[in-house]
């Protein structure tokens, strides 16, 4: 008996007690899932929740089983409870809810849940699946989805926006956005490269070079940065720095199509047309750009510059077929004919539009305003911003007028910056102020005039007069309204200057301005004469609805005070008699 008792006791010690806890039921649930026994899996997950009711993962597993079983509403109820009560950081619940709503064909709520997932989830665990669902929702809702940004790609979405701004020539906006991206993510090299380009387009050369230097400190072999640096050195005429860089780029054989394209265009801009041709031909054979007329144009330019004139002709003829609305292939085929005759050098522009000078010839022939495509062209805009910073006085004057025709927020910001530059010419700054007022900037403006910081109030003209009467303004507006399409901005500004000079000299004994139109007509008449334009008292009196005698009287009074005849005698001796008409 004792032996039997000992044997029984020894058997008891070998029994392993079962640990009834959440982990036990979780494991049972997983086994059931592996065998597709969803009912059992749901039962086990519910038991797991009973043991650990505050564990959001258990609830989430239960919601997943319910979704597999087609009970989407109950699944979403649990997922909502997890987010609202247990763990708001479980952002993946929004993705699961979006799936459930999509399965119920409730596409609006599915979109809301999916957008919330993308905007809140930093890990991006289901990013690819979410983007696929976004395409489905776009198709079902027949509209773009309401997505502001993707948190898991924080900076990437904004970077795409900035790139689009650069392509549209919105350089100031692009700089602001790119600076904020780089500040948040110092390792985002693509954003740094584009920031350097934006600085370059705006004429901020030192900032552009510094930013490229930062990229190359982080990644010395960054191809985009090396290409940009080469172009910057070429622009600055840094031959010693440029030569080894060109040698390095000539030895580079990139794999990715984007890198091949960047290198090809860079080598073309640097004058290494043989290298450019080799890379462009490779793109035409291997790349997905073979249907893009731009690529054929670039290859044609490279071919032309390497003596392959027949090849260039064939390529430009192909461009004409692919893009029959464009005037680019026709212009370059005409240039090619001159090259063959020996009268012209090969064209070197790798941009798919007419050269800058040709575009402006068309503009001058067509109208008094810049065509929309020129206003949007980033190269045209960057040329303007460059010239505003680095051009001579006459070029800057022309650019300020052209910017007045574009008249968007970028232009307003550029002109605001221009008028506070101490080294810029005061006359040009006054023209810029006039342009800002003309294009609708009515708030107070800060400017540096005659070496002093000043604030020009919206209700005043830039003058030293202690007051500015409404009637003085009425004379000015009456003249400018009628001059708008007949005189350029410089001439309109000169009229403003003449009026201010007259009022300043006679103040406070300003004559009673009985008839506004008479004084306005006189101002236009004198301004036209100063700019050697044919005009008569009869012509202006009719346009302003006043008498010849009134215009003549007002013009002579202004001339007496401002000495216009004397000034013109020094500049145009033969014209002084014409003021008398």
Arithmetic mean of pLDDT, 111-134: 82
pLDDT for 193 equals 92
Quick check: 222 pLDDT over 60? yes
Both structure tokens of 362:
């068309």
Task: Round to whole Å and give the CA distance between 486 and 368.
Answer: 9
CATH topology of domain 470-580: Cyclin A; domain 1 (1.10.472)
Give the tokens for residue 343: 């009268």
8 Å CB contact between 417 and 388: no
pLDDT of residue 195: 93
> Residue written as tokens 């022309």?
398
- Domain-by-domain residue ranges, the chain? 22-153, 184-356, 357-456, 470-580
Average pLDDT for the chain = 79
Does residue 358 contact residue 331 with C-beta atoms inside 8 Å? yes
Candidate ranges 494-503, 549-558, 560-569; pick with highest mean pLDDT: 549-558
Per-residue CA distances from 338 to 209, 333, 335, 348 (Å): 38, 9, 5, 14
User: How much is the pLDDT for 215?
Assistant: 92
Of residues 487 and 244, more confidently modeled = 244
d(Cα 10, Cα 86) in Å, to the nearest integer?
A: 47
Q: 165: closest CA among 181, 177, 150, 153?
A: 177
Mean pLDDT check: name the lowest of 23-32, 227-236, 339-348: 23-32
278-314 in b/e burial notation, b at 16+ Cβ within 10 A? bbbebbbeeeebeebbbbbbbbbbbbbbbebbebbbe
Q: What's residue 97's pLDDT?
A: 93
Q: Which CATH architecture has domain 184-356?
A: Alpha Horseshoe (1.25)
- Could you tell me the CA-to-CA distances from 64 to 49, 55, 382, 446, 553 in Å, in that order? 13, 15, 55, 62, 92
- CA separation for the pair 571, 579 (Å, rounded): 14
Tell me if 22-153 shares its fold with 184-356.
yes
Highest average pLDDT, of 311-315, 439-443, 483-487, comes from: 311-315
Comparing CA positions, the residue from 518, 515, 443, 520 lying closest to residue 480 is 520
Token duo for residue 21: 């806890």
Q: Which CATH number fits domain 22-153: 1.25.40.10, 3.40.50.1580, 1.10.340.30, 2.40.40.20?
A: 1.25.40.10
CA dist 409 and 441 (Å) reads 10
pTM of the predicted model as reported, rounded to 2 decimal places: 0.54
């Amino acid at each position: 008996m004792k032996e039997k008792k000992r044997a029984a006791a020894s058997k008891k010690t070998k029994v392993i007690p079962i640990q009834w806890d959440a982990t036990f039921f979780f494991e049972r649930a997983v086994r059931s899932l592996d065998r597709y026994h969803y009912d059992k899996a749901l039962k086990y997950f519910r038991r797991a929740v009973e043991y650990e009711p505050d564990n959001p993962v258990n609830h989430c597993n239960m919601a997943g089983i319910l979704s597999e079983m087609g009970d989407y509403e109950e699944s979403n109820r649990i997922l909502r409870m997890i987010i609202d009560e247990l763990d708001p950081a479980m952002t993946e619940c929004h993705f699961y809810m979006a799936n459930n709503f999509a399965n119920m064909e409730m596409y609006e709520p599915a979109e809301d849940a999916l957008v919330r997932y993308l905007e809140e989830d930093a890990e991006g665990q289901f990013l690819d699946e979410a983007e696929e669902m976004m395409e489905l929702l776009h198709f079902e809702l027949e509209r773009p989805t309401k997505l502001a940004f993707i948190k898991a790609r924080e900076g990437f979405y904004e970077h795409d926006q900035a790139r689009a701004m650069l392509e549209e020539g919105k350089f100031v906006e692009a700089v602001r956005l790119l600076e904020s991206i780089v500040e948040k993510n110092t390792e985002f090299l693509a954003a740094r490269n584009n920031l350097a380009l934006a600085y370059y387009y705006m004429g901020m050369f030192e900032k552009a070079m510094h930013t490229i230097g930062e990229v190359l400190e982080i990644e010395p072999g960054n191809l985009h940065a090396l290409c940009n640096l080469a172009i910057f050195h070429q622009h600055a005429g840094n031959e010693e720095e440029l030569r080894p860089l060109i040698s390095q780029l000539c030895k580079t054989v990139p794999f990715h199509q984007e890198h091949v394209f960047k290198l090809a265009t860079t080598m073309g801009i640097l004058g290494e047309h043989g290298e450019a041709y080799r890379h462009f031909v490779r793109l035409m054979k291997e790349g997905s750009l073979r249907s893009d007329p731009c690529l054929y144009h670039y290859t044609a330019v490279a071919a032309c510059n390497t003596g392959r004139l027949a090849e260039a002709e064939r390529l430009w003829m192909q461009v004409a077929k692919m893009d029959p609305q464009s005037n680019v292939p026709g212009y370059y085929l005409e240039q090619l004919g001159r090259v063959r005759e020996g009268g012209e050098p090969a064209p070197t522009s790798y941009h798919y539009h007419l050269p800058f000078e040709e575009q402006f010839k068309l503009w001058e022939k067509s109208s008094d305003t810049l065509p929309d495509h020129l206003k949007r062209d980033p190269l045209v805009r960057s040329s303007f911003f460059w010239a505003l910073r680095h051009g001579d006085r006459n070029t800057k004057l022309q650019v300020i007028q052209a910017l007045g025709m574009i008249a968007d927020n970028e232009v307003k910001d550029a002109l605001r910056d221009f008028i506070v530059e101490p080294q810029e010419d005061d006359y040009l700054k006054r023209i810029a102020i006039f342009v800002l007022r003309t294009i609708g900037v009515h708030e107070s403006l800060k400017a540096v005039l005659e070496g002093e910081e000043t604030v020009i109030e919206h209700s005043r003209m830039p003058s030293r007069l202690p007051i500015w009467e409404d009637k003085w303004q009425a004379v000015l507006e009456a003249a400018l309204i009628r001059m708008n399409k007949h005189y350029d901005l410089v001439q309109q500004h000169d009229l403003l200057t003449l009026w201010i000079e007259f009022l300043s000299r006679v103040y406070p004994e300003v004559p009673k301005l009985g008839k506004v139109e008479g004084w306005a007509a006189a101002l236009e008449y004198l301004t036209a004469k100063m700019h050697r334009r044919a005009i008569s008292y009869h012509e202006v009196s009719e346009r302003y609805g006043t008498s010849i005698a009134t215009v003549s009287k007002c013009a002579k009074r202004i001339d007496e005070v401002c000495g216009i005849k004397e000034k013109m005698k020094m500049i145009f001796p033969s014209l002084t008699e014409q003021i008398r008409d």
